[in-house]
């Protein structure tokens, strides 16, 4: 070492306190280095994760949850993958805050959710995809931006599947078939990419006609209701009339039955009476005849207003007889 | 003391030297060694520690993973002259980093080449087919609802002549495969160090102008369906009203008929009974019946005119 450097060292040494010798400086440095080593050679894998350890960039092993050692100073690098976590991607809507009453983003996602159906109509489809990472090594090192890839594949797949269904099938009938088809198709593509991801669930959420035509669909529902209402009202009227008419018909028949019986009984009664009378008449015809006649007259004549007697031998209505006086014994005569 | 310092300095120097001759290639990367501007050796695809000459050699890292490519949405006229927005995406990887580095510099360069190849292929392939061929994947017969109705309706509310009823051969999968294969072939010929893994049609939409027309068509179809239900309701109402009249008339007339029959039976029986009784002595019957008639018909308004010849007068005289 040259003189200049020596002088400089002497100068520096005179400035620091006497007790701090070179030995203590080196010791302190060593402690700091050891501390850094201790801190950087330890890592923790969380319970739902798997660690992937790279040594000099090369994949060495995966590590289970818990504390682990690694070589510090950037020799070992640890990548963490949430292998037990069920990831979720939303299409056509976004949950901003999940909870008892989830809040959803009010942004417009119609570009994402509106799609062509196989009969050239348009349906609005919202859905959810859930997936898990089954192979952390593939997930980390085979595909760049796996979540973005899953979104792309999900959109392409849903549209391909919906494109082969009629609007009617998409809206009303084939939800489960669509979900299953999308799941299988997605898995096939993601396996082709070696993404290390398993699609666990494809779930259609709201599937409905696009907003601009929604009113007309409501109109159809209203019309259906109106039709049902009209039919119900008609049957109400039907019931009201028909059951009454049936009752009235029954009444008419019953009354006729009654009249019939009455008529027959009357006839029987009349006949019986006549027969009895006839029997007596035959026993004494002349007397009975007269008696009957006079009885009747006695009953009838007093009721009459006027009685004229006309003599055939005379012209006109002459000798007026006060018959009433003599027969009934009361009332005036003209 | 001095020895210790010397050792520390030596260690630092050694580290610096090592750093300049060693480099790491991570698992998801590959590297190209470049010496004074021109690449040397093949691409390094093995992850781990590698040596290089210090100062004169540079290392360029490239991705080894499958990479994204996102096409610009383009407007394509279909064979049946419908304008559609097509948005495609692809996945590709750098199959030879050295070639890629030589021919297109870097990943951005590769993306640009993919744009050129894929956009054109998508356009050419899709515009040679009808919309339904592109949209559909199979030729299965769909279950169509009322929405698909275009022609007049046949008997019983069943729609006839619906769109899509005609046989459509869906080609979506075939077409994307066709595009993928053609692109793969093209890339192979060009030898850019790019390998196409997959291409998919992400979105396929009507252009805004067409979209509005489609909405209008859907709305008019719905209104048509709505009107059908209303008319069906009214028709059914009239039908039921007719049924009410028919059934009530029938019930009433049947009841009338039955009642008259019953009354007739009664009349007939009564007539027979009367006849049987009165025939025993018709004259006496006439006499009794006449008396009955007198009793019933003569009242206080009546005026009796008697002839002096009449039997009654005789009786009356006798009575006096």
pLDDT tens readout for residues B105-115: 888 999 999 99
For residues B228-241, average pLDDT: 90
Interface test with B, best of A75, A139, A220 (most B CBs within 10 A): A220
Chain B residues whose beta carbon lies within 8 Å of the beta carbon of residue A77: 26
Q: What is the torsion angle, in degrees rounded to the nearest 10, for the CA atoms of residue B244, residue B246, residue B252 and residue B258? A: -140
Q: Do A304 and B303 touch (CB under 8 A)?
A: yes
* Predicted confidence (pLDDT) at residue B92 exceeds the cutoff of 90: yes
Of A145, A156, A220, which has the smallest distance from its Cβ to B200's Cβ? A156
Tell which wins on pLDDT, B79 or A106. Answer: B79
Supply the pLDDT for residue A329: 40
Window B:22-41, CB contacts with A under 8 Å:
24-29
Chain B residues whose beta carbon lies within 8 Å of the beta carbon of residue A305: 300-303
Tell me if chain B has a CB within 8 Å of the CB of A122.
yes
* Predicted confidence (pLDDT) at residue A31 exceeds the cutoff of 70: yes
The two tokens of residue A103 are: 């809040």
For B262-276, the pLDDT digits (tens) are: 999 999 999 999 898
Supply the pLDDT for residue B155: 39
* Predicted confidence (pLDDT) at residue A289 exceeds the cutoff of 90: no
Supply the pLDDT for residue A101: 79
Tell me if chain B has a CB within 8 Å of the CB of A98.
no
Tell me if chain B has a CB within 8 Å of the CB of A118.
yes
Chain A residues whose beta carbon lies within 8 Å of the beta carbon of residue B312: 297
- With CA atoms as reference, the chain B residue closest to A285 would be B284
Of A121, A173, A285, which has the smallest distance from its Cβ to B147's Cβ? A121
For residues A198-216, average pLDDT: 91
For residues A299-325, average pLDDT: 63
Supply the pLDDT for residue B24: 87
B234-241 long-range contacts, CB within 8 A, separation 24+: B234/A230, B236/A227, B236/A230, B236/A231, B236/A234, B237/A230, B237/A231, B237/A233, B237/A234, B239/A234, B240/A231, B240/A234, B240/A235, B240/A237, B240/A238, B241/A234, B241/A237
- With CA atoms as reference, the chain B residue closest to A244 would be B248
Alpha helices in A163-284 (DSSP H): 167-168, 175-192, 211-283
- With CA atoms as reference, the chain A residue closest to B134 would be A163
Chain B residues whose beta carbon lies within 8 Å of the beta carbon of residue A114: 205
Residues A80, A139 contacting (CB under 8 angstroms): no
Supply the pLDDT for residue A333: 37
For B168-178, the pLDDT digits (tens) are: 788 899 999 99
- With CA atoms as reference, the chain A residue closest to B231 would be A227
Per-residue confidence band for B319, with pLDDT thresholds at 50, 70 and 90: low
* Predicted confidence (pLDDT) at residue A307 exceeds the cutoff of 80: no
The overall average pLDDT reported for chain A is: 84
Per-residue confidence band for A180, with pLDDT thresholds at 50, 70 and 90: very high
Per-residue confidence band for B163, with pLDDT thresholds at 50, 70 and 90: very low
Tell me if chain A has a CB within 8 Å of the CB of B119.
no
Q: Do B230 and A23 touch (CB under 8 A)?
A: no
Of B136, B237, B298, which has the smallest distance from its Cβ to A164's Cβ? B136
Tell me if chain B has a CB within 8 Å of the CB of A271.
yes
Chain A residues whose beta carbon lies within 8 Å of the beta carbon of residue B235: none
The Cα B37–Cα B14 span in angstroms is: 27
Per-residue confidence band for A317, with pLDDT thresholds at 50, 70 and 90: low
Q: Do A120 and B299 touch (CB under 8 A)?
A: no
b/e per residue B254-271 (b: at least 16 CB within 10 A): ebeeebeebbeebeebbe
* Predicted confidence (pLDDT) at residue A16 exceeds the cutoff of 70: no
Per-residue confidence band for B208, with pLDDT thresholds at 50, 70 and 90: confident
Tell me if chain B has a CB within 8 Å of the CB of A334.
no
Q: Which residue's structure tokens are 């590590």?
A: A63
Residues B210, B83 contacting (CB under 8 angstroms): yes
- With CA atoms as reference, the chain B residue closest to A214 would be B219
- With CA atoms as reference, the chain A residue closest to B315 would be A294
Residues B76, B206 contacting (CB under 8 angstroms): no
The overall average pLDDT reported for chain B is: 85
* Predicted confidence (pLDDT) at residue A302 exceeds the cutoff of 60: yes
For A141-169, the pLDDT digits (tens) are: 999 999 999 999 999 999 999 999 888 88
For residues B16-24, average pLDDT: 85
Collapsing DSSP to helix, strand or coil, B178 comes out as: helix
Supply the pLDDT for residue B154: 43
For A250-262, the pLDDT digits (tens) are: 999 999 999 999 9
Closest CA to B25 of A259, A329, A217, A55: A55
For B297-311, the pLDDT digits (tens) are: 777 777 777 777 777
Of A119, A148, A293, which has the smallest distance from its Cβ to B68's Cβ? A148
């Amino acid at each position: 070492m040259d003189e200049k450097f020596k002088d400089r060292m002497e100068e520096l040494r005179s400035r620091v306190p006497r007790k701090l010798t070179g030995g203590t400086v080196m010791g302190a440095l060593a402690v700091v280095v050891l501390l850094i080593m201790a801190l950087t050679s330890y890592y923790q894998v969380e319970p739902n994760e798997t660690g992937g350890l790279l040594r000099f960039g090369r994949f060495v092993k995966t590590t289970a949850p818990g504390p682990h050692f690694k070589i510090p100073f950037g020799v070992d690098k640890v990548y963490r993958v949430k292998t037990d976590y069920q990831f979720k991607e939303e299409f056509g809507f976004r949950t901003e805050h999940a909870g008892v009453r989830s809040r959803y983003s009010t942004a417009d996602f119609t570009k994402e959710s509106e799609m062509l159906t196989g009969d050239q109509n348009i349906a609005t489809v919202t859905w959810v995809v859930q997936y898990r990472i089954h192979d952390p090594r593939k997930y980390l090192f085979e595909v760049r931006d796996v979540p973005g890839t899953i979104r792309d594949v999900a959109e392409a797949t849903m549209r391909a599947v919906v494109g082969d269904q009629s609007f009617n099938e998409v809206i009303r009938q084939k939800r489960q078939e669509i979900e299953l088809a999308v799941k299988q198709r997605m898995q096939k593509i993601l396996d082709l990419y070696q993404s290390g991801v398993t699609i666990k669930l494809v779930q259609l959420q709201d599937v409905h006609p696009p907003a601009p035509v929604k009113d007309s669909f409501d109109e159809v529902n209203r019309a259906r209701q109106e039709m049902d209402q009209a039919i119900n009202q008609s049957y109400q009227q039907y019931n009201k009339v028909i059951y009454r008419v049936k009752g009235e018909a029954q009444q008419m028949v019953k009354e006729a039955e009654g009249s019939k019986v009455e008529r027959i009984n009357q006839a029987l009664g009349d006949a019986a009476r006549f027969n009895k009378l006839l029997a007596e008449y035959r026993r004494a015809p002349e007397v009975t005849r007269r008696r009957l006649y006079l009885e009747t007259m006695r009953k009838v004549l007093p009721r009459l207003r006027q009685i004229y007697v006309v003599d055939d031998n005379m012209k006109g209505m002459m000798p007026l007889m006060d018959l009433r006086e003599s027969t009934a014994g009361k009332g005036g005569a003209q | 003391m001095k020895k210790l310092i010397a050792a520390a300095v030596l260690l630092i120097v050694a580290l610096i030297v090592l750093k300049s001759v060693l480099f790491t290639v991570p698992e998801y990367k590959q590297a190209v060694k470049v010496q004074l501007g021109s690449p040397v050796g093949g691409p390094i695809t093995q992850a781990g520690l590698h040596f290089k000459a210090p100062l004169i050699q540079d290392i360029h890292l490239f991705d080894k993973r499958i990479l994204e490519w996102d096409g610009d949405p383009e407007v394509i006229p279909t064979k049946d002259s419908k304008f559609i927005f097509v948005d495609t995406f692809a996945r590709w990887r750098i199959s030879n980093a050295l070639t890629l580095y030589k021919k297109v510099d870097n990943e951005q360069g590769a993306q640009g080449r993919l744009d050129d190849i894929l956009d054109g292929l998508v356009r050419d392939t899709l515009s040679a087919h009808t919309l339904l061929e592109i949209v559909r994947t199979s030729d299965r017969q769909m279950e169509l609802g009322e929405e698909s109705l275009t022609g007049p309706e046949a008997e019983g509310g069943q729609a006839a002549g619906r769109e899509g009823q005609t046989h459509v051969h869906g080609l979506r999968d075939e077409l994307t495969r066709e595009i993928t294969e053609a692109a793969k072939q093209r890339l192979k010929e060009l030898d850019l160090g790019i390998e196409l893994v997959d291409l998919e049609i992400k979105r396929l939409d009507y252009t805004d102008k067409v979209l509005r027309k489609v909405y209008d068509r859907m709305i008019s179809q719905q209104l048509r369906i709505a009107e059908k239900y209303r008319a069906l309701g009214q028709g059914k109402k009239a039908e039921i009203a007719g049924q009410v009249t028919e059934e009530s008339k029938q019930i009433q007339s049947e009841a009338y008929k039955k009642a008259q029959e019953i009354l007739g039976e009664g009349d007939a029986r009564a007539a027979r009974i009367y006849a049987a009784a009165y025939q025993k002595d018709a004259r006496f019957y006439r006499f009794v019946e006449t008396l009955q008639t007198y009793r019933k018909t003569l009242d206080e308004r009546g005026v009796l005119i008697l002839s002096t010849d009449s039997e009654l007068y005789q009786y009356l005289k006798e009575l006096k």
